[in-house]
Amino acid sequence: MKLYVSADMEGTAGVCSWSQVDPSNQHEYPIYRRYMSHEVRAAIDGARACGPCDVLVNDSHWDMRNLLWDELPDDVRVISGARKPLSMAEGASDRYDAAFFTGYHGAIGTAGAVLAHTYNDATLYEVRVNGVACSEALLNAAVLGLYGTPVVMVTGDRTTVESTLRALPWAVGVPVKDAVGYYAANSLTPDAACRAIAEGAREAIARIASAKPFTFEPPIELVIETATVPQADFIELLPRFERIGGRTVRFVCGEYLTAFHAFLVAMRLGGAANIPA
């Protein structure tokens, strides 16, 4: 069995503030990156309760250099660093039987979800694919879906887990905390969260036969609402992007991978518009 893990951080138990997930923070971040690493290890241990498992972990948060190598099982592979052609879904391929999303968070604009955003909240106000407002979980699940890999477990706050499971009803959701607000959570302790994640992972692998790859039906229409007008001014210059509103651009193509790449490029280029002229 071959398992792919995309590990984000905002959905880690206890996390309720940017300071805890910002690598430049010398006080809180070192503690919470350890908790993040423990949750990833718990997910792998849980999967392995069902049998041997070849594991690739893609560090998917911020500069993507968060996971503590010596907190992980020593036989896994880890993709570390940024930027990557498939970003949070880097390493996706048809060799993986299943995927876990750990530490995930809600889409930008979601109420009741801790630190909810979609890739980059300074640039992206909303991302829609074929009319569906997308979280990172959906955008990344659709990349894995192209390779036939189903997402079978998602962990994070309860709102994030429940909204992801509406799109991926075959997956196991492990809510490790409840949002009290954008910057507040009522959370399990890290150890209790790890136990819940290990149990969720075991259950997810046990019912893998009912899981389905998540895909968007071509043609693919990507609509990006930017945070500001100058960002849309930049993105509009990219080939095949069409300006359809002051802060809205549209990209249509025949298959999702091209749309996902267009999304990443648009986000990164839009970010350049944040530098004052």
Can you give the binding site for Zn ion, defined by CB under 5 A? 8-10, 61
Per DSSP, the three-state class of 169 is: coil
Query: Tokens in use for 242?
Result: 């069409």
105 is catalytic: no
CB of 134 to Zn ion, least distance (A): 15
Q: Which is nearer to Zn ion, 140 or 226 (CB)?
A: 140
Q: Give the nearest residue (CB) to Zn ion.
A: 61
Helix axes 256-272, 136-146, angle to 10 degrees: 140
What is the closest distance, in whole angstroms, from the C-beta atom of residue 60 to Zn ion in the complex? 7
What angle is formed at CA 244 by the lines to CA 240 and CA 248, rounded to 5 degrees? Answer: 95
Query: CB 158 → Zn ion: shortest distance, Å?
Result: 18
> Closest approach of Cβ 61 to Zn ion, in Å?
4
Nearer to Zn ion, 4 or 241 (CB): 4
Q: Which residue's CB is nearer to Zn ion, number 22 or number 242?
A: 22
- 147 — alpha (psi -120 to 50), left (phi > 0) or beta? alpha
Comparison of 9 and 98: residue with beta carbon closer to Zn ion:
9
DSSP assignment of 81-126 equals: SS--TTGGGTT--TT-SEEEEEEE-PPTT-TT-TT--SS-TTTEEE
- Of 38, 61, 105, 117, catalytic: 117
For tokens 């189903």, name the residue. 150
Q: Which residues are catalytic?
A: 117
